[in-house]
């Protein structure tokens, strides 16, 4: 795929804004519409813009997959951490006695982990499609 100079320039301008919007969606996931899955998909879209800028760049698939597995383990651990701290599984690991601002840490942590996992997964799918075939 040979890109025109127009597409490359517009992609370079758009790239930081896409990432900024993605991180806004993730970090405000518990206050405004959005969250881990949506923000991760937007991050993946921003990452795909880099293929428009330089179509020769490749990412190592093995590294992507390994990180995705580690992130999935981290998500599982974060979800079941409340079994130790509160005695009931799969809920917030900070007890309701804390103020709301501190209990937000759980949502922030889980949103960021989920979004990174979704972004890595979608990038790996597109990367597989890019590497398939000789053309």
The footprint of other proteins (CB under 8 A) covers 1, 25, 29-35, 37-38, 41-42, 44-45, 48, 61-62, 65, 68-69, 72, 75-76, 79, 89-92, 96, 100, 103-104, 106-107, 110-111, 114, 117-118, 121-122, 124-126, 128-135
Q: Which residue has the tokens 């009931």?
A: 88
What is 97-114 written as a DSSP string?
A: TS-HHHHHHHHHHHHHHH
Nearer of residues 16 and 89 to other proteins, judged by Cβ: 89
Using an 8 Å Cβ cutoff, are 55 and 3 in contact? Answer: yes
Q: Closest separation between CB of residue 5 and other proteins, Å? A: 19
Q: Closest separation between CB of residue 94 and other proteins, Å? A: 9
Q: Closest separation between CB of residue 109 and other proteins, Å? A: 10
H, E, C per residue of 18-85: HHHHHHHHHHCCCCCCCCHHHHHHHHHHHHHHHHHHCCCCCCCHHHHHHHHHHHHHHHHHHHHCHHHH
d(CA 13, CA 130): 24
Nearer of residues 5 and 31 to other proteins, judged by Cβ: 31
Q: Closest separation between CB of residue 30 and other proteins, Å? A: 4
């Amino acid at each position: 795929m040979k890109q025109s100079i127009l597409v490359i320039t517009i992609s370079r301008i758009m790239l930081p804004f896409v990432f900024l919007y993605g991180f806004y969606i993730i970090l405000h996931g518990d206050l405004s519409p959005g969250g881990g899955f949506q923000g991760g998909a937007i991050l993946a879209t921003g990452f795909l813009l880099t293929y428009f800028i330089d179509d020769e760049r490749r990412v190592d698939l093995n590294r992507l997959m390994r990180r995705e597995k580690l992130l999935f383990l981290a998500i599982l651990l974060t979800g079941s951490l409340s079994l130790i701290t509160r005695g009931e599984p799969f809920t917030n690991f900070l007890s309701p006695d804390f103020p709301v601002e501190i209990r937000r840490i759980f949502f922030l942590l889980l949103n960021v982990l989920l979004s990174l996992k979704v972004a890595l997964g979608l990038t790996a799918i597109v990367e597989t499609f890019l590497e398939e075939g000789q053309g």
